[in-house]
Each structure stands twice: as C-alpha cells, then as structure tokens.
Amino acid sequence: MNTLLNFIKKYFYWLLFIILEVISMIILFRGYNYQGSVWFTSANSVAGTVNSWYADAIAYINLKNINKSLTRENIYLQKQVADLRQALDKQTTQPSANERVVRDSLKDFSLIPANIVSNSLYKDNNYIIIDKGESDGISTDMGVVGGGGIVGIVFLTGPHYSLIMPTININSNISCRIRHSNYFGYLQWTGGGINTAYLNDIPHYAHVKVGDYVETSGYSSVFPPGIFVGRVTMIHNAPDGLSLQLKVNLGTDFSRLTDVCVISCKNRPEIDMISSQFKHFGIQEQQ
C-alpha cells in the first residue's frame, strides 16, 4: 500500500494530466458531432488497416500450401486437357495399334509432391535436390513436373532425398512433340539462359510456326503425353542441315521453383520390360 501511495505522490501531476486529457477527449468527442465523426472515421480507418495487415499475414503464411495445391491441380488439368485433345483427334484420325498401347498404358499415373531443398542454375550440369526419396516411392528415371510444366528426371535416389537432372542440364534429352501434330523430337539444353532450350530432329516438312506449343510425347515410361514444355520462339535449320531446330521458351521458371511433383507410372515395370527388348536390336529408349 505504501508503495502505491509513494508512486501516486511521485507521479501525481502526470497522472492528473492524463486523467484530465481523457476527460477532455470524452467531452470533446461526445459533445460535438463533428469531432465525434472524425474520431469514429479515424478509428475505423486504423482498425481496417490493422485487419488488412492481419489478413495479408495469414495469406502469406498459407501461400506455400496454396502453391503446392495449385501445382498438383495444374498438372492434373494438363493431363485431362491432353486426354481430351487426343479424344478429339481420334474422331478424325485413327491412331495405330502401337500408339493406342502407349497412350493407354501412360494414363495410369500418380503424383508424389516434394519440396526443393537445393538447386543450381548457372552450371552446365545443373541439378535439383528434393526432400523425397526411396522411402516415399521414388526411383530413378521418374519424371518430375511443376506448375509451369516439366522440370526434369530423377537421376539419383537416397532413402529420403533425390537428385533431379533438370531440363536445363546439357545431358538432358527428353522426347517432346508439337501439339496437335505427330512431329516429335528431343529437347536439349545447350547452356546459357535458363529459360530456353532446343527441340531437335523435327523434319523440314513439318508444319511448325512460332507460337506453337511443345509438350511431352508420351513415347516412354517417364512422362505421360501432353505435359506442357514451352512455346516455339524461333525456327531454323539444325547445324547438320538435315532437320529443323526449334528454339523453345520453357514454361518452368527454374529461378522461382520451390515445389515439384514426381510422376509415378503404375504400368512402368511392364513398359520397361517391353522397351528393354529393343536393346537386342541396338535401339536405346529416349526420355
């Protein structure tokens, strides 16, 4: 009690000043409509600003989970759109028996979400490391995709982590096709900028134009058909002069990539077994 009295005696004038200020504010804002409306408006403005900051903070915290969800949904939508395009194409052109086998076998796949824990962007042999491995069902030669399109192929696996060879690696070689056509080639990166690669082995008679979409061909057990790769930005002759070389603006922005999905093909063992038979003829499967 003595302590409280000493405190009041010590700061009596300050306490009196604060009390008088509060009383005067109450009289001012309650007794005069204009001042009251100014106070009410200012208070609402401050409260609104604080609420907006709070909402932005919550949205930012939830943004990572939202991005993961959007990545998976975008990949599934790409696959559904590709299936619809194929169904429409079948109305006018009947695919061969081999094409039907490949397409049907690659329809059954699942996605394993993963986060990127390390990557490189400006080397010839760029790499990506993800936080999923053999214990999560990942094995080598599985395809990896992101919200913008294909990312690369699983190269090495550990119990809990995997190393990805991205499309921006000079050793990457992925089978791709021009959308709405049967012309396909192999996507390769030659170094330099991380936004472009080249689609090689396109025949001269192919009807290709700038702006055409490039997507996975589905001619392997790595990627299902129809996954977006990029868009053609330039067409010129290949160095050997025997085919066209297409410059492709990649759909995946590797500088902002944070999460991916690994494609697990349910029928892959059977497809690999059939593909292995080609080795007797000296033919190697392309990704």
Q: Is the pLDDT of residue 271 over 90?
A: no
Q: Distance (Å, rounded) from C-alpha 202 to C-alpha 55?
A: 51
Residue 225 lies in a domain: yes
Q: Distance (Å, rounded) from C-alpha 245 to C-alpha 58?
A: 47
Q: Is the pLDDT of residue 61 over 70?
A: no
Of 136, 148, 115, nearest in space to 259 by CA: 115
Residue 21 lies in a domain: no
The DSSP secondary-structure symbol of 203 reads -
Q: Which residue has the higher pLDDT, 214 or 40?
A: 214
Q: Distance (Å, rounded) from C-alpha 167 to C-alpha 250?
A: 9
Of 241, 261, 265, 276, nearest in space to 132 by CA: 261
Global pTM reads 0.62
Residue 269 lies in a domain: yes
The DSSP secondary-structure symbol of 193 reads -
Q: Could you list the residue range(s) of the whole structural domain that residue 176 is in?
A: 64-281
Q: Distance (Å, rounded) from C-alpha 100 to C-alpha 156?
A: 31
Provide, rounded to the nearest whole percent, the portion of the chain with pLDDT above 90: 34
Residue 179 lies in a domain: yes
* Most confident by average pLDDT, 14-18, 91-95, 150-154, 267-271: 150-154
Residue 29 lies in a domain: no
Q: Distance (Å, rounded) from C-alpha 122 to C-alpha 120?
A: 6
Residue 13 lies in a domain: no
- Structural domain count, the chain: 1
**Widest distance between CA atoms in the chain:** 102
What CATH number has the domain bearing residue 215?
2.40.10.340
Residue 255, CA distances (Å) to 18, 73, 116, 252 in order: 56, 21, 12, 9
CB contact at 8 A, 137 and 154? no
Residue 51 lies in a domain: no
Provide, rounded to the nearest whole percent, the portion of the chain with pLDDT above 70: 60
- Give the pLDDT of residue 101: 40
